[in-house]
Amino acid sequence: MNQEPSQIAVGQTLPEFSVETTAGIPFTHKDLMGHYTVIYFYPKDSTPGCTTEGRDFNQRLPEFTALNTSIYGASMDSMKRHHNFKTKQGFEFELISDPEGTFCALFGVYQLKKNFGIEYMGIVRSTFLFDPKGTLIHEWRKVKVKGHAQEVLETIQAHQNA
């Protein structure tokens, strides 16, 4: 996949898109309307950091729901891998499958990474928060998992109380 340098920025809305979710129905730009939406991108299903991050969001799901917020996890894994991961972990939110990386490109999260001196292309852990009008109001890039889901929750609370 060749990624364009342009990506969504805070204060912008996404162009029309449609991606597959574990619910078996497409997730589109219209699904961002009427509530807050968190889309978090993670590198790979069933890896330690990605499992911890998903569990943290899932554990706080009732609090997110009380704040009129939907959660979506997204990676380039296949729908089959997503279903297995979601079932095994008991996630109560949907996962987005983006095997071609087109959804990742909208957010600029598919980048050159380096691990133990080896360079490769992959998803940089990132989270995006949209308001009920579908406008990006906050982004976290190069996320560290520990405490992240709580920070996202607190950001939504602060925004709603402003």
Annotated catalytic sites, by residue? 50
> What are the start-end ranges of the H helices in the chain?
48-59, 61-66, 79-89, 102-107, 148-161
Give 140's strand partners: 127
Residue pair 117/30 in contact (Cβ under 8 Å)? The answer is: no
State the amino acid at position 50 in one-letter form: C
C-alpha–C-alpha distance, residues 37 and 131, integer Å: 7
C-alpha–C-alpha distance, residues 8 and 105, integer Å: 9
C-alpha–C-alpha distance, residues 8 and 106, integer Å: 6
- Burial label for 133, CB within 10 Å (0-12, 13-18, 19+), is exposed
